Every structure is written in C-alpha cells, then in structure tokens.
Structure 1
Amino acid sequence: MYDLTGAVWRKSIRSNNSNNCVEVATDVPSYDGVVAVRDSKEQNGPVLIFDRDGWKAFLVGAHSGRFDLQP
C-alpha cells in the first residue's frame, strides 16, 4: 500500500474542471518513479499505481488507439 499523502494530483486542461475524468500524480513524495492514477469523482477511492516505464507504455498505447473501443 502506498502512502500518497502529499502527492501532487493534476488533470487534463481538456477536462474543463469537470469531475468526470482521471487525475494523475507523477510527483509522489517518497516514491521516486511512481505514477498514480485515480478517478476525480472518488478522490478517496482506489488508485492505480504504475512505474514510469509502465505509464509510458500505457500512454503510447492510448495515443496509438490501442485501447479504443471497437463498434
């Protein structure tokens, strides 16, 4: 279990300050190289934890459309 106290959370500027998106923390004190992701609607809910390589791989896949839903 990670202690995310002091994590700096941010969300996309495209969210228009909506609470229907995810927040990402790349600055997590005491855990160098950890990226945390949470649902902005449930800030005290579950958090996904990635190492930097895993996060980069996810971003590459997302940008390439790998996770797009098929009709």
Structure 2
Amino acid sequence: MTTIRNGMPATDLGPTGWQKPWSGPNGGSCVEAKRLADGRVALRQSTDPAGPALVFDADEIRAFIDGAKAGKADGLLSG
C-alpha cells in the first residue's frame, strides 16, 4: 500500500474522485481537489494531473477555506 504524503504523484491517489471546486473562466486550468478516505484532502494542478499532490488534514483545509472566505488570502491577488 502506498503511503499518502505531501508531494507524492497525484496519479498514485487514483484517477477518480477529483473535482474542480474552484474552476472559473480560465479555460479549465485550475486546482482539483479529492477527499481521501481518511478525511484528508489532496490538491493537484489540473494541467499537470501526474504532478505532485498537496495533502492537507481536515483542520488545515478547513482553516484555509475559512480564511479565504474571510478575505485573508486577498493579498495574494494582484491589483
């Protein structure tokens, strides 16, 4: 069995279950997310599905989403 870890090839997490929750009008180039069986969430770049996956536990992904909703990531945007 493969150990799930940050930076592992996203293909090792399987081809099914990936979603594009943040897809916009950018031609499909976006972040894809997959909820893992143990409750963690993996993220990958849609244009590089075989590239590395970032793996977050439930508290980490919740903090990220809550922070983004609260505007804490707005400084990452240009303009």
TM range (shorter): 0.7 to 0.9
- Structure scoring higher RCO (CA < 8 A, sep ≥ 6) equals 2
**Residue of structure 2 in register with 1:15 after alignment:** 24
List structure 1 segments (4+ residues) > 6 angstroms apart after TM superposition. none
CA contact (8 A) 2:17 2:34 kept: yes
1:48-70 CA distance string (max 9 Å, x none): 10001110000001111111126
Assess, with a 3 A threshold, how the Cα gap between structure 1 residues 15 and 51 changes in structure 2: closer, same or farther: same
Aligned length: 68
Matches within 5 A, 1:48-63: 48-63=54-69
Normalising by structure 1, we get a TM-score of 0.76
From 47, 57, 67, the counterpart of 1:41: 47
Q: Which runs of 5+ in 2 are unaligned?
A: 5-11
Which has the larger share of strand? 1
Q: Which runs of 5+ in 1 are unaligned?
A: none
How far apart, in 1, do the equivalents of 2:75 and 2:47 lie? 23
